[in-house]
Amino acid sequence: MKKIITLCIVCLATISTGWAQGVGIGTTNPQEALHIAGNNSTVRLEGLNNINNPKNKGGADLYNVVVDSNGNLTLLDISGEMSSEATVSSPVVLQTMADSGKNSNELYTKTFTLTQRAYVVVTYYISMEFESYDGSAKIVDGRTKIANNYWYLGNGLAPDTSKKYGMTTTVYTNANCDTASGYIYNSRTVTMPLDAGTYSVHLNGEVYGGGMTADAAFRVTFGDYDRLDLSVIYL
């Protein structure tokens, strides 16, 4: 009986020593709490496979595994295009001030949500058509006209107007002569890192003639054709 008790004590002591050193698979000398040795060693978590996890689309693609603040492993959301669409439901007419001074207004808003920290790529293009202040005629006065586009980042509701993104400018002039016809476009791409949350892009148009006289005032029609592309690269 004493021999059996002694053997049990020795076994327990051996197990306790092994757990204190860590658990080794393919090694008798684990260097961490769990040490899997071997040149071809792998770990399989069936909760992350394409049967059990909707973020795993299967096939030959590889998917990134990330860790949260609690140390839990999960699959990263798939990077790619979030949306690509025309966002101006109907063209927006924007006039300068009566003396051709600067005037601006929001053209459209697009809201999107990130599930985790990511780089967001925002690309827009928008058409413009320059006309006289009342829209009755094409511009032939030879004076310089300026049309800007830019966007504010918002929280899904209101824009933060302290910083403009994607500023781009077209300088337009036309005299009474033969010229090409068609639309003029402003376009810009901006890449920025954002944390998880809900955001919005608020695209604005701005027109400016230098603040001269009433006969220099004009209007621009924005958005006969437009596009906003949002892509995400999860970090």
Mean pLDDT, residues 201-219 taken together: 91
pLDDT category at 10 given cuts 50, 70, 90 is: very low
Beta strands in the chain (DSSP E): 23-25, 34-36, 65-67, 73-75, 80-85, 92-95, 103-114, 118-132, 145-154, 165-172, 184-194, 197-208, 218-234
Mean pLDDT, residues 7-36 taken together: 70
Report the distance separating Cα 69 and Cα 90, nearest Å.
45
Report the distance separating Cα 96 and Cα 108, nearest Å.
19
| pLDDT one-digit tens code per residue, 110-119 | 999 998 899 9
pLDDT category at 159 given cuts 50, 70, 90 is: very high
pLDDT category at 56 given cuts 50, 70, 90 is: confident
Mean pLDDT for the chain? 88
Count of beta carbons in the 10 Å neighbourhood of residue 139: 19
User: How much is the pLDDT for 178?
Assistant: 66
What is the 3-state composition of the chain as percent helix, strand, coil, each rounded to the nearest 5? 10, 45, 40
Across 70-74, 91-95, 127-131, least confident range:
70-74
Structure-model confidence comparison of residues 124 and 177, the more confident one: 124
pLDDT category at 14 given cuts 50, 70, 90 is: very low
Residue 153 has pLDDT above 90, yes or no: yes
Architecture of domain 80-234: Sandwich (2.60)
List the chain domain ranges. 1-43, 48-76, 80-234
Residue 74 has pLDDT above 60, yes or no: yes
User: How much is the pLDDT for 78?
Assistant: 82
Residue 11 has pLDDT above 60, yes or no: no
Report the distance separating Cα 89 and Cα 235, nearest Å.
33
Mean pLDDT, residues 212-234 taken together: 93
